[in-house]
């Protein structure tokens, strides 16, 4: 290999190595400008998760994420609801619960000093007394009374 060709190969190798060592910026990583105008999906900034639809943050609404096959609630500030009960006004209204990861709870859940039951399909909190699947369907679970819109711990429920 002649001396000129060797220098060309070395220069090309150094150029490639230089390009490979450069950091590649992730799309939508600029927290000041946010996602692009056509972006739809999750966007994380300052440790909070936001859902964007066509470049705008969704607020005060329930969304379905096909990527995770799960429903989520977005609070008024656009952040994903986590570890809380939320009243959804759609379809006649229902109380649902979101866990620490923002996923809608379904089935039995113990919180606030008592057991609650959430529909296995819709996530709607059961009202009144219900027979639940555990113990062969023989155990009763007391839930939010029908006349109350806000969930209450079992210890605060009264017979009405």
- The CA distance from 112 to 90, in Å, is 25
The reply to whether the predicted model has a pTM over 0.75 is: no
What pLDDT is stored for residue 127 in this prediction? 81
- The CA distance from 95 to 156, in Å, is 17
Domain positions in the chain: 35-79
pLDDT band at 115 (very low <50, low <70, confident <90, very high): confident
Mean pLDDT for 75-79 is 94
Could you report the per-residue pLDDT of 6-34, keeping only the tens digit for each?
A: 455 444 444 444 433 332 222 344 456 67
Instruction: Identify the weakest region by mean pLDDT among 76-80, 133-137, 151-155.
Output: 151-155
State which fold the 35-79 domain adopts. Answer: left handed beta-beta-3-solenoid (2.10.270)
């Amino acid at each position: 290999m002649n001396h000129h060709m060797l220098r060309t190969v070395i220069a090309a190798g150094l150029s490639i190595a230089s390009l490979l060592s450069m950091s590649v910026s992730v799309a939508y990583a600029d927290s000041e400008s946010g996602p692009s105008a056509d972006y739809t999906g999750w966007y994380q900034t300052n440790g909070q998760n936001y859902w964007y639809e066509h470049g705008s943050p969704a607020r005060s609404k329930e969304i379905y994420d096909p990527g995770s096959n799960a429903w989520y609630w977005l609070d008024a500030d656009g952040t994903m609801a986590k570890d809380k009960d939320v009243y959804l006004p759609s379809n006649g209204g229902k109380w649902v619960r979101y866990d620490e990861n923002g996923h809608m709870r379904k089935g039995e859940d113990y919180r606030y000093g008592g057991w609650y039951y959430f529909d296995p399909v819709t996530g709607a909190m059961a009202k009144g007394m219900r027979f639940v699947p555990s113990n062969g369907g023989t155990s009763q679970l007391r839930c939010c009374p029908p006349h109350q819109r806000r969930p209450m711990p079992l210890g605060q429920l009264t017979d009405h």
